[in-house]
Amino acid sequence: MPDLFRDILKSSESLFKNEVALDPEFVPKLIQFRENENQYIATCIKPLFQKRNGKNLIIHGPPGVGKTLATKNVLKELEEETDDITPVYVNCWKKNTTYQVVLELCKAIDYKFIQNKRTDELISIIVERLNKKSSVLVFDEIDKIQELDILYNLSESLYRKTIILLTNESNWLFRLDSRLKSRLIPDQLEFKPYSLTETKEILKQRISQAFPPNTINENSLNKITENTFKQRDIRTGLFLLKESAEIAESNSSKKIEMQHVEEAVKRVIFSDTEKLDEEEKQVLEFIKTNMEKTTGEMAKLYEETHKKSKRTFQRKLNNLQKSNLIKLDETESPRGRSFRVKPLTEF
C-alpha cells in the first residue's frame, strides 16, 4: 500500500460509534415530546379497530419538527399491532404524479402485475384490495403533489380508512378544492417547533447513539443546541454534530471541541446559501471580510476589486436580505443615509 494511504488510514481512526445515527432518515429509539401528537393521531385511527370509518387528518408544521418521524412511527406500531389495517406511506415530493403514487400504492399492497395496465385500472385494483381491510394512508409532503385526483378517488371509494396528509403549509387546506375538502373533512394537527430544552434532549439522545460517552462536552453541545433552536429544525443539529465530528477527526482530536463546533456552524450558513447564485455567494464572502464598513464603502471597494458596478452590488445585497441572511441597519453618517450589514445567521 502506498505510504500516502497508509498515513490517511492511520490518522482516520473514527470518532463515531455509529455515524448512521446522525442521518436525518435514521429512526431514533425514542420519540420524545410528541406524546400528545401521537395520541391525537391514534384517536383518528381508533374507529378502524372497531371496523368503522376513521377520521382524516392534516398535519402541518415547519421543517424538521418530527412530522414524518411521528407518522411513520404510528404506521410501524400499527403494523406490529394488527393485520386488519393496511399501512401505506407515500412521499409526494418523490412521487408527485398520479401514476407514480399509484405505483407506490401497488407496492404497499404487494401487487406486482402492473405491466400494461392503465392508471384507472390499477386504482380499481388498489381500492378493491384496500377495501378488504381497513387502511391508514399517509401522504407526506402533500403540497408537492401535481394532481389531486388520487385523493378524490381514495377518499370516496375506501370505506374504512384514515387519510393523513403532511405539509409545511398551514393554509394548504384552505387552498384545497372545496369538493375535495368536503370529502375529506380532515381534523387538523399542528406540530410546533421544540423548545430549547427539548431540542437539547433530542440531540443528546442522538449523540448517545452516534458517539462513545464523553465525546462532546456540555459547552459544545449547548452551542449546537442554540444554533439548532435558532433554525427550529432538528436536522440542523444533526448536521452540526456530524460536521463538528468530521472536523475534529481531521484535526486528529478524540473529542469534539468548541473550535470544531464553531467551524461547523460556519459551514451550516454555507449550506443555507445553496440557493444563492455565484455572484451572491461572492458578495456574501466579500461582506464577511468587510463587516466594519458601511454598505456604501463596501460597494465602492467591490467596484474596485471586482470590477462590478455599485448598483450590481446593491442588488445582490438586497437579495441576500430577502434570503434572510443579512439585515441592513441604518447608521449615523455625515454623508446622508448609510447602512451597515448585520448578519442574521452566524458568520
Q: Which residues bind ligand ATP (CB under 6 A)?
A: 24, 28, 31-34, 61, 63-69, 168, 202, 234-235, 238
Q: Give 72 or 340: the residue with its C-beta nearer to Mg ion.
A: 72
Question: Which partner in ligand ATP, Mg ion, none is near 15 (CB below 5 to 8 A by kind)?
Answer: none
Question: Which partner in ligand ATP, Mg ion, none is near 168 (CB below 5 to 8 A by kind)?
Answer: ligand ATP
Query: Taking the complex as a whole, how short is the minimal distance between the CB of residue 97 and ligand ATP, in angstroms?
Result: 20
Q: How far is CA 122 from CA 7, 129, 161, 282, 309, in A?
A: 57, 11, 19, 51, 59
Query: Taking the complex as a whole, how short is the minimal distance between the CB of residue 270 and ligand ATP, in angstroms?
Result: 20
Q: Give 20 or 291: the residue with its C-beta nearer to ligand ATP.
A: 20
Q: Give 31 or 103: the residue with its C-beta nearer to ligand ATP.
A: 31
**Residues 203/42, Cβ–Cβ less than 8 Å:** no
Question: Which partner in Mg ion, ligand ATP, none is near 28 (CB below 5 to 8 A by kind)?
Answer: ligand ATP
Which pairing describes strands 161-167 and 134-140: parallel, antiparallel, or unpaired?
A: parallel
- φ, ψ dihedrals at 193, nearest 5°: -60, 155
Part in contact with Mg ion (CB under 5 A); list of ranges 29-37, 62-70, 131-139, 168-176: 62-70
Q: Give 25 or 80: the residue with its C-beta nearer to ligand ATP.
A: 25
Q: Give 38 or 157: the residue with its C-beta nearer to ligand ATP.
A: 38
- Indicate the residue whose CB is closest to ligand ATP: 66
Q: How far is CA 16 from CA 26, 194, 264, in A?
A: 15, 26, 16
User: How many CB atoms sit inside 10 A of residue 218's CB?
Assistant: 8
Q: Look up residue 267 and give its amino acid.
A: R
The grid coordinates of residue 219 equal 459547552
**Residues 136/45, Cβ–Cβ less than 8 Å:** yes
CA distance linking residue 346 with residue 262, whole number of Å: 9
Query: Taking the complex as a whole, how short is the minimal distance between the CB of residue 71 and Mg ion, in angstroms?
Result: 8
Site string for Mg ion, 63-92 (x = CB under 5 A): -----x------------------------
Q: Following DSSP, what letter does each residue of 33-78 receive, concatenated?
A: S-HHHHHHHHHHHHHHHTTS----EEEE--TTSSHHHHHHHHHHHH
Query: Taking the complex as a whole, how short is the minimal distance between the CB of residue 178 and ligand ATP, in angstroms?
Result: 26
Question: Which partner in ligand ATP, Mg ion, none is near 34 (CB below 5 to 8 A by kind)?
Answer: ligand ATP
**Residues 237/226, Cβ–Cβ less than 8 Å:** no
Q: Which residues bind Mg ion (CB under 5 A)?
A: 68
